[in-house]
Amino acid sequence: MQRSLEQRMAIKFCVKLEKSAEETIPMLKKAFGVDCLSDRQIFRWHKAFEEGPEDVNDENRAGRPSTSSSDDNVKRVRDLLNTDRRLSVRLISETLDFTKTIVHEIV
């Protein structure tokens, strides 16, 4: 997440310097290497910054926020696993009243 935010800032900087997307791509690839955004994402952000939005953060998305791996839930699963390492995901999910998917994400 942090790396993509840095790259969006770099793209915004290139737009302000009036660099084209084609000029921006090799600079980002050199600066960020294998962690670089895809060409398509670079073009998308470049176009967005050219059209005006100044914010480098993602727009808010609809839907329920992810709370499955909250600190409290992770602690509850960890405490239960510390009592018996042989517990199955199904048993943990039933004991803590979590879905199996949430337990898988935490474990």
- pLDDT (tens digit, 9 = 90+) per residue, 7-31? 999 999 999 999 999 999 999 999 9
Q: Which amino acid is at 90?
A: R
* Beta-carbon contacts of residue 4 (< 8 Å; ≥ 6 apart): 37
pLDDT at 23: 95
Token readout for 36 is: 């670089």
Residue ranges of the alpha helices (H) in the chain?
2-16, 21-32, 39-50, 71-83, 89-96, 100-106
* Beta-carbon contacts of residue 107 (< 8 Å; ≥ 6 apart): 77, 81, 89, 92
At residue 5 the predicted structure's pLDDT band, cuts being 50, 70 and 90, is confident
Do 10 and 31 meet the contact criterion of CB atoms below 8 Å apart?
Answer: yes
Rounded to whole angstroms, the Cα distance separating 92 from 107 reads: 10
